[in-house]
């Protein structure tokens, strides 16, 4: 029987095992999916091999380490610099990033201009896929340092201060919180007065938060201001469906995988 796992720290909260195990059972694919708490990032590749995993999902805080430790990185992961899915092929670790396409397939309509809050790994995935689809976006971050790698790629960026002065009048129809503000605290990703201006009635921006499992202060405020809101639940499902498509070597369509996973996800 093949073994798969989600690897991260912390990991006990992860919904990945239930999604992937349900799929394996439904498809009668002889595999089991567990979770593994890793403490030393430099041991990631070694662990995948010693645990004899056929594949793994990599979560916070090891996605960049996964990128560095794979024998080969394929697709959009090369541009993003982070890997969240690894498949063993003839003893070689092949890395993919399914967050980017997972995020994109949750969009109900194609936005015209997007404001991405945050400049971490998730922001890199979202900006790469928006860039691929030629959708204009601005990456806005609290600190300047993390914006450097985005500038190198030629992406438009701003700090909070620069934003108020230069970009506030831009018409964004989608504002995405890709920061961890609101995950374990009650913080907003951007000063309240700026968010109020972005979502003020009539401007019509939708709000999307990649955080799932709770209504963040960002989504709560956007909702109060009349914006359409979405959380990160469906993104989690979509990235898992694409990852499983790799795990089972394309034996079932992503659409069918999503349908099977959705049954336990909504339960
Ligand atoms: P990173 O640690 O790479 O980046 C964090 C970012 O958040 C930085 O830009 C940081 O800014 C910013 N930030 C943190 N706290 C605040 C704050 N109080 N105010 C403003 N900015 C803040 O995180 P990741 O990109 O890996 O993850 C971000 C979120 O995405 C997490 O909550 C994670 O759970 C979620 N996620 C959801 C997925 C899904 O499937 N739904 C998939 C992947 C991630 P600075 O540079 O100034 O410190």
Of all protein residues, whose CA lies closest to atom 15 belonging to ligand 1? 181
Q: Name the pLDDT band for 201 (thresholds 50, 70, 90).
A: low
Q: How far apart are CA 145 and CA 253, in angstroms?
A: 41
Q: How far apart are CA 143 and CA 92, in angstroms?
A: 37
Q: Does 216 contact ligand 1 (Cβ within 6 A)?
A: no
Q: How far apart are CA 26 and CA 106, in angstroms?
A: 24
63 is catalytic: yes
Of all protein residues, whose CA lies closest to atom 2 belonging to ligand 1? 120
Q: Which residues pair with 175 in a beta bridge?
A: 115, 207
Q: Which residue in 28, 40, 63, 144 is the catalytic one?
A: 63
Mutate to test the pocket of ligand 1, among 118, 149, 151 (most ligand atoms within 8 A of CB): 118
Q: How far apart are CA 177 and CA 229, in angstroms?
A: 11
Q: Does 206 contact ligand 1 (Cβ within 6 A)?
A: no
Q: Does 209 contact ligand 1 (Cβ within 6 A)?
A: no
Q: Is 22 in contact with 73 (CB distance < 8 Å)? A: no
Q: Is the dihedral of CA 209, 211, 213, 215 positive or negative?
A: negative
Q: What percent of the chain is predicted at pLDDT more than 90?
A: 91
Order of strands across the sheet that contains 2-8 = 31-37, 2-8, 55-58, 85-89, 92-96, 72-73
CA of 60 to the centre of ligand 1 (A): 10
| Percentages of the chain per state (helix, strand, coil), in multiples of 5 | 40, 20, 40
Q: Does 121 contact ligand 1 (Cβ within 6 A)?
A: yes
Mean pLDDT of 31-35: 98
Q: Which residues pair with 176 in a beta bridge?
A: 116, 208
Q: Note the pLDDT of residue 202.
A: 65
Q: Is 196 in contact with 167 (CB distance < 8 Å)? A: no
Tens-place pLDDT, residues 212-230: 989 999 999 999 999 999 9
CA of 251 to the centre of ligand 1 (A): 34
Q: Is 102 in contact with 59 (CB distance < 8 Å)? A: no
Q: Name the pLDDT band for 203 (thresholds 50, 70, 90).
A: low
Strands 85-89 and 92-96: antiparallel
CA of 211 to the centre of ligand 1 (A): 9
CA of 123 to the centre of ligand 1 (A): 8
**Alpha helices for the chain (secondary structure H):** 16-27, 44-50, 63-69, 77-80, 99-104, 121-132, 148-152, 160-166, 192-198, 217-224, 233-247, 254-266
Q: Phi/psi of residue 188, each to 5°?
A: -95, 150
Mean pLDDT of 80-90: 97
pTM summary value:
0.94
Q: Note the pLDDT of residue 167.
A: 77
Residue that is written with structure tokens 């109020």 in the block: 196
Residue 65 in tokens: 């380490």
Q: Is the dihedral of CA 217, 218, 223, 225 positive or negative?
A: positive
Residue 148 in tokens: 């450097």
Q: Name the pLDDT band for 142 (thresholds 50, 70, 90).
A: very high
Q: Does 64 contact ligand 1 (Cβ within 6 A)?
A: no
């Amino acid at each position: 029987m093949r073994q798969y796992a989600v690897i991260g720290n912390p990991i006990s909260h992860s919904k990945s095992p239930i999604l992937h195990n349900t799929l394996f059972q439904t498809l009668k694919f002889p595999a089991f999916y567990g979770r593994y708490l890793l403490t030393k990032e430099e041991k990631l590749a070694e662990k995948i091999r010693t645990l004899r995993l056929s594949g793994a999902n990599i979560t916070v805080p090891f996605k960049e380490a996964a990128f560095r430790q794979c024998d080969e990185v394929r697709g959009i992961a090369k541009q993003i610099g982070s890997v969240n899915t690894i498949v063993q092929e003839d003893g070689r670790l092949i890395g993919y990033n399914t967050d980017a396409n997972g995020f994109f397939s949750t969009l109900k309509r194609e936005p015209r201009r997007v404001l991405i809050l945050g400049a971490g790994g998730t922001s890199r995935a979202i900006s790469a896929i928006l860039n691929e689809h030629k959708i204009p976006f601005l990456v806005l971050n609290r600190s300047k340092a993390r914006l450097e790698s985005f500038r190198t790629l030629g992406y438009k960026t701003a700090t909070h201060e620069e934003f108020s002065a230069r970009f506030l009048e831009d018409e964004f129809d989608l504002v995405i919180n890709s920061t961890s503000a609101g995950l374990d605290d009650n913080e907003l990703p951007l000063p309240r007065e700026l968010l109020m201006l972005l979502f003020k009635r009539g401007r019509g921006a939708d709000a999307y938060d990649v955080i799932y499992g709770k209504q963040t202060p960002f989504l709560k405020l956007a909702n109060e201001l009349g914006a359409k809101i979405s959380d990160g639940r469906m993104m989690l499902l979509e990235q898992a469906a694409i990852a499983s498509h790799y795990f089972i070597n394309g034996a079932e369509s992503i659409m069918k995988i999503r349908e099977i996973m959705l049954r336990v996800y909504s339960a």
